């Protein structure tokens, strides 16, 4: 047992959301990581593929012994960065439920990482790692085999909800473990770390099962094929579609690489109950009558490279909209994706499909608790302190206010940002130092090699493009002897800008004639004059470059 007088909790990473993708728990020099997720970039983070937590803090703390990585559930924002973390901390064991472990293994295999030590854990089965006594408990969300964690520490009982909703009729029949949460409350919870995602929604999030009647209705009314778009990792949703398909006599086709992999794995493990004779190979679609078919596809967020977008723009290899097709988007647009989602819907309609989406039909529910559930969570666990996590600043703030209304004093509501160190001692909880808790861009094969500066350049290039002149001048007279040659993209349509190019040529000759002696000032003067000319003529500010060859 460590003799340290307090433990530390540090939310790391996450874009916009706080305490979501990765959290560190430390007792002295012993540490645990909770989740290793990714986020998707904002619209103005040009060219970024995805974002991982900045865990340089952990790399710098050479004295820390990291005993393990715990996972709450198998969604991308909780497991998606696992290969990046495992690469840096080889040998650290992972702890996950069976389904979560299966999804993690798929991800590690894709990244060609082998021989990782994954230990299967189960809700209700207490275990110890180093000085940490851990009690995973079952929670409901939109994927099976979800966990929350209780940490029984020398400084008190700390409960982390993970992503959750109190779903009383979950798709897999496994109800929330109210009794265990209540037992924590009776033992005395020092700190509750709780999901804030829906802190702006009053009431109680509808159960996953409430959407089945809508699916039944859609399936019965559809005279042709049905396509259902959702996240590959929404395993519960895929089960629901399969169940309704079975009842309405449709065979099921799984499209998209990731969705096929996930479904295969979840079926093998028994988390998806789809009989073999219901599953149809994508190659055999033509052999089945349209009204006997339902196809799962990816792309419910309008992602251009996913199946649904390809169908909407006529770019899919073998799928195209047919008369009589019904297309269901079983999802909500993630903020920032509305434009591409609605554009995809419009295009599908224009191609002749009947498109069903929320709010036209209740074909999607959130996987996160609403305010009444948040109140219940507080009353069950009766925490002395609360730390809202999972959500943007605005959600955490609302969750904090709700906690105060529920009786927790303002001083015991801990509002953090990513990188805030929370110190928990026997008597108190307080904010400590700040450590780097931001995020790292992943672009192509580069991790962290583009930062704010490169993104800023991309922003300028996106807005106004660039303009480059290359010119050879007589070293002595300053007379232009060759060029100027112009290379420009993203600025104006050059072929229709003859007049402007002529003006640029005049400017180049004039500036170079007025002999500046140092190359630096001469180049600056040239670029400034060209910038000014372009702005005056077009009110745009492309990046301007020049190459001057003295001959």
Binding site for a copy of itself (CB under 8 A): 16, 42-44, 46-47, 200-201, 335-336, 338-339, 342-343, 345-346, 349-350, 355, 359-360, 392-394, 397-398, 443-446, 449-451, 453-454, 457-466, 468, 470, 472, 482, 485, 487, 489-493, 496-497, 537-540, 543, 545, 547, 549, 551
CB contact set of 478 (below 8 Å; sequence gap of 6+): 512, 513, 514, 515
Nearest to 86 by CA among 122, 44, 127, 114: 114
Helix, strand, coil percentages (3-state) for the chain, rounded to 5, are 35, 25, 40
Kindly state the smallest distance separating residue 200's Cβ from a copy of itself, in Å: 6
What is the distance in angstroms between the CA of the first residue and the CA of the last residue of the chain? 76
Nearer to a copy of itself by C-beta: 23 or 488?
Answer: 488
Cis peptide before 514 (omega within 30 of 0): no
Alpha-carbon distance of 240 to 247, in angstroms, equals 11
**Which H helix or E strand runs over 247?**
helix 235-247
Nearer to a copy of itself, 25 or 467 (CB): 467
Minimum separation from the CB atom of position 433 to a copy of itself (A) = 19
The nearer residue to a copy of itself, 303 or 425, going by C-beta atoms, is 303
Marked catalytic residue, from 75, 141, 364, 368: 368
Q: Which residue's structure tokens are 């996106």? A: 462
Query: Annotated catalytic residue: which of 195, 325, 443, 464?
Result: 195
Length of the chain: 551
Is 145 an annotated catalytic residue?
Answer: no
Is 113 or 460 the residue whose CB approaches a copy of itself more closely?
460
Q: Please name the residue ranges forming H helices in 316-448.
A: 338-350, 371-381, 393-405
Backbone angles phi, psi at 131, to 5 degrees: -85, 5
Q: How far is the CB of 422 from a copy of itself (least distance, A)?
A: 18
Q: Is 368 a catalytic residue?
A: yes
Closest contact distance (angstroms) between CB of 415 and a copy of itself is 10
Nearer to a copy of itself, 185 or 400 (CB): 400
- Smallest distance, a copy of itself to C-beta of residue 551, A: 7
- How far apart, in whole angstroms, are the C-alpha atoms of residue 149 and residue 72? 8
Q: Measured from the CB of residue 213, what is the shortest distance to a copy of itself in angstroms? A: 17
The distance of closest approach from Cβ of residue 55 to a copy of itself in the complex, given in angstroms and rounded to an integer, is 20
Q: How many helices (H) and strands (E) does the chain have?
A: 15, 26
Residue 494 DSSP label:
G
Q: Which is nearer to a copy of itself, 108 or 500 (CB)?
A: 500
Instruction: Please give the distance of CA 69 from its chain centroid, rounded to a whole number.
Output: 19
SS3 label, residue 58 = helix
Would you say 168 or 519 has its CB closer to a copy of itself?
Answer: 519
Q: What are the strands, taking DSSP E only, across 175-292?
A: 189-195, 226-229, 251-254, 279-280
Residues ≥6 apart with Cβ < 8 Å to 282: 253, 254, 255, 318
CB of 410 to a copy of itself, least distance (A): 14
Task: Name the residue nearer to a copy of itself (CB basis): 26 or 464.
Answer: 464
Sheet of strand 226-229: strand arrangement: 279-280, 251-254, 293-297, 226-229, 326-329, 354-357
* Nearest partner of 51 among 71, 69, 76, judged by Cα: 76
DSSP 8-state secondary structure symbol assigned to residue 464: H
Cα dist from 463 to 47, 452, 541, whole Å: 14, 16, 8
Greatest alpha-carbon pair distance for the chain in Å reads: 90
Residues labelled as active-site residues: 195, 368
């Amino acid at each position: 047992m460590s003799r340290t007088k307090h433990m530390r909790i540090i939310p790391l990473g996450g874009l916009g959301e706080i305490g979501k993708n990765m959290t560190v728990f430390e007792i002295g020099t012993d540490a645990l990581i909770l989740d290793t997720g990714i986020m998707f970039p904002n619209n103005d983070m040009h060219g970024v593929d995805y974002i991982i937590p900045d865990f340089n803090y952990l790399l710098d703390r050479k004295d820390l012994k990291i005993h393990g990585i715990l996972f709450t559930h198998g969604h991308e924002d909780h497991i998606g960065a696992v290969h990046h973390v495992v690469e840096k901390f080889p040998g650290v064991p992972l702890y996950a439920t069976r389904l979560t472990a299966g999804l993690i293994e798929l991800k590690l295999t894709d990244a060609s990482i082998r021989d990782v030590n994954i230990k299967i854990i189960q809700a209700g089965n207490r275990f110890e790692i180093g000085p940490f006594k851990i009690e995973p408990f079952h929670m409901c969300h939109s994927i099976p085999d979800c966990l929350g964690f209780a940490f029984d520490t020398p400084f008190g009982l700390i409960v982390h909800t993970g992503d959750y909703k109190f779903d009383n009729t979950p798709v897999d029949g496994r109800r929330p473990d109210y009794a265990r949460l209540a037992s924590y409350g009776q033992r005395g919870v020092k700190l509750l770390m709780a999901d804030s995602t829906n802190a702006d929604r009053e009431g109680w999030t509808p159960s996953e099962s409430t959407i089945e009647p809508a699916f039944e209705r859609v399936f019965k009314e559809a005279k042709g094929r049905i396509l259902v778009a959702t996240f590959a990792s929404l395993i519960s949703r895929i089960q629901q579609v399969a169940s309704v398909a079975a009842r309405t006599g449709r065979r099921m086709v799984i499209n998209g690489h990731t969705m096929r992999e996930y479904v295969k794995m979840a079926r093998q493990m028994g988390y998806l109950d789809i009989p073999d004779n219901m599953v149809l190979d994508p190659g055999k679609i033509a052999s089945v009558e349209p009204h006997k078919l339902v196809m799962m596809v990816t792309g419910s967020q309008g992602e251009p490279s996913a199946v649904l977008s390809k169908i909407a723009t006529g770019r899919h290899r073998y799928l195209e909209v047919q008369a009589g097709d019904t297309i269901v988007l079983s999802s909500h647009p993630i903020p920032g994706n509305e434009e591409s989602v609605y554009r995809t819907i419009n295009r599908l309609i224009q191609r002749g499909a009947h498109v069903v989406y929320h709010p036209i039909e209740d074909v999607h529910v959130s996987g996160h608790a609403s305010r009444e559930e948040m109140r219940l969570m507080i009353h069950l666990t009766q925490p002395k302190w609360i730390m809202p996590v999972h959500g943007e600043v605005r959600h955490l703030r609302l969750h904090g206010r709700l906690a105060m209304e529920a009786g927790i004093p303002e001083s015991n509501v801990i509002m953090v940002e990513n990188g805030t160190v929370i110190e928990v001692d026997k008597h108190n909880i307080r904010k400590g130092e700040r450590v780097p808790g931001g995020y790292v861009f992943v672009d192509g094969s580069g991790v962290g090699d583009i930062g704010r500066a490169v993104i800023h350049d991309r922003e300028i290039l996106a807005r106004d493009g660039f303009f480059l002149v290359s010119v050879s001048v007589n070293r002595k007279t300053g007379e232009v002897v060759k060029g100027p040659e112009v290379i420009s993209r993203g600025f104006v349509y050059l072929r229709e800008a003859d007049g402007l190019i002529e003006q640029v040529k005049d400017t180049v000759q004039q500036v170079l004639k007025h002999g500046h002696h140092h190359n630096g000032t001469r180049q600056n003067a040239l670029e400034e004059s060209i910038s000014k000319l372009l702005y005056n003529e077009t009110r745009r500010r492309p990046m301007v470059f020049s190459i001057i060859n003295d001959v």
